[in-house]
């Protein structure tokens, strides 16, 4: 009876569930994706102001779709908007990391539990294949490819949780954290640890041990964010006195 349910959604670009049947994507949707990538990849430095004019020229569009996109990114927390004073890329502070962690941690743990409940054998196999690819990239020290597989795995788990609301909520937060991986490059010891944690994940998924997977995902996230925080502390030390 409820026909309106599986409609095309906004921000299709970063959704976990893929409805790729949309051929005509609106301009501001593209802008949301492209602008988010710009921020996430650090091409727009945290704290820097973002005049509308500049972005209009860069994307070669008018202000209307750009502003609509900026509203969404402000809601996601990637931009700070001040009335009549414009937009600036939100800062990545240690406090922000500490603030985001418990929330993402709770969601990540939940996704682990739900994923173990609903994941299919085929999905586990696919995730396993992706994991093996990731390990190969890890051995060859191919950072970019490694990250791509890494994110693919996390998205697959999120998808296996069979909860679009969870996925959307998590992704909304992850943008703020994802860019940190560009800011803080992986140290070798942390990298070894991360791969080891991923092994644990796969095992828990195989055994469909939701509690274990939840715990691993949470720890995994915490370790990752701690690494980012270390980097931020260190960086702060170079600019501040003492």
Partner DNA sequence: CGATTGAATTTTGTATACAATTTTGGCCTA
Partner DNA sequence: TAGGCCAAAATTGTATACAAAATTCAATCG
86-89 vs 79-82, strand pairing mode: antiparallel
74 is a site residue for DNA (CB under 7 A): no
**Would you give the DSSP letter of residue 41?**
T
175 binds, among DNA, a second copy, none (CB under 5 to 8 A by kind): none
Q: What count of Cα atoms within 13 Å lies in the side-chain half-sphere of residue 203?
A: 9
On the 0-12 / 13-18 / 19+ scale of CB atoms within 10 A, 43 is: exposed
96 is a site residue for DNA (CB under 7 A): no
- In the bound state with DNA, the residue whose beta carbon lies nearer, of 22 and 129, is 22
In the complex, minimum distance from the CB of residue 187 to a second copy, in angstroms, rounded to a whole number: 25
**Would you give the DSSP letter of residue 186?**
P
In the complex, minimum distance from the CB of residue 16 to a second copy, in angstroms, rounded to a whole number: 14
Coil, strand or helix at 84: coil
163 binds, among DNA, a second copy, none (CB under 5 to 8 A by kind): a second copy
Which residues contribute to the site for a second copy (CB under 8 A)?
1-2, 4-5, 7-11, 22, 24-26, 28-29, 47, 64, 67-68, 71-72, 74-77, 80-84, 88, 90-91, 93, 96, 99-100, 102-103, 106-107, 109-110, 114, 163-166, 168-169, 172-173, 239-240
CA distance 139 to 102: 31
Residues in the chain: 242
* Contacts (CB under 7 A) with DNA, residues 9-48: 24, 26-28
6 is a site residue for DNA (CB under 7 A): no
Between vectors from CA 229 to CA 223 and to CA 231, what angle results, nearest 5°? 110
CA distance 117 to 162: 10
- In the bound state with a second copy, the residue whose beta carbon lies nearer, of 97 and 202, is 97
Figure out which of the listed residues 37, 42, 61, 197 binds DNA, where binding follows CB under 7 A. 61
Tell me phi and psi for residue 79, to 5 degrees: -120, 145
- In the bound state with DNA, the residue whose beta carbon lies nearer, of 21 and 24, is 24
Question: Can you spell out the DSSP letters for 47-71?
Answer: T-EE-HHHHHHHHT--HHHHHHHHH
Q: What count of Cα atoms within 13 Å lies in the side-chain half-sphere of residue 242?
A: 0
2 binds, among DNA, a second copy, none (CB under 5 to 8 A by kind): a second copy
In the complex, minimum distance from the CB of residue 103 to a second copy, in angstroms, rounded to a whole number: 5
Please give the residue ranges that form the binding site for DNA (CB under 7 A).
24, 26-28, 49-53, 61-65, 67, 81, 83-87
């Amino acid at each position: 009876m409820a026909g309106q349910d599986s409609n095309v959604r906004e921000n299709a670009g970063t959704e976990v569930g893929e409805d790729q049947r949309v051929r005509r994507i609106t301009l501001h949707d593209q802008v949301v994706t492209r602008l988010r990538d710009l921020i996430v990849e650090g091409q727009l430095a945290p704290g820097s102001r973002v005049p509308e004019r500049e972005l209009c020229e860069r994307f070669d569009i008018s202000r209307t779709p750009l502003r609509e996109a900026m509203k969404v990114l402000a809601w996601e927390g990637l931009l700070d908007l001040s009335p009549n004073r414009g937009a600036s890329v939100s800062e990545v502070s240690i406090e922000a990391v500490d603030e985001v962690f418990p929330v993402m941690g709770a969601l990540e743990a939940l996704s682990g539990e739900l994923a173990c409940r609903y994941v299919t054998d085929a999905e586990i196999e696919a995730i396993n294949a992706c994991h093996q690819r990731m390990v190969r990239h890890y051995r060859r020290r191919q950072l970019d490819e490694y990250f791509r597989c890494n994110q693919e795995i996390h998205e697959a788990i999120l998808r296996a949780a069979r909860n679009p609301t969870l996925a959307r909520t998590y992704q909304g937060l992850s943008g703020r954290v994802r860019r940190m991986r560009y800011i803080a490059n992986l140290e070798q010891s942390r990298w070894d640890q991360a791969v080891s944690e991923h092994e644990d994940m796969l095992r828990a998924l195989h055994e469909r041990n939701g509690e274990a997977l939840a715990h691993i995902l949470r720890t995994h996230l915490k370790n990752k964010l701690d690494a980012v925080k270390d980097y931020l502390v260190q960086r702060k030390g170079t600019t501040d006195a003492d």
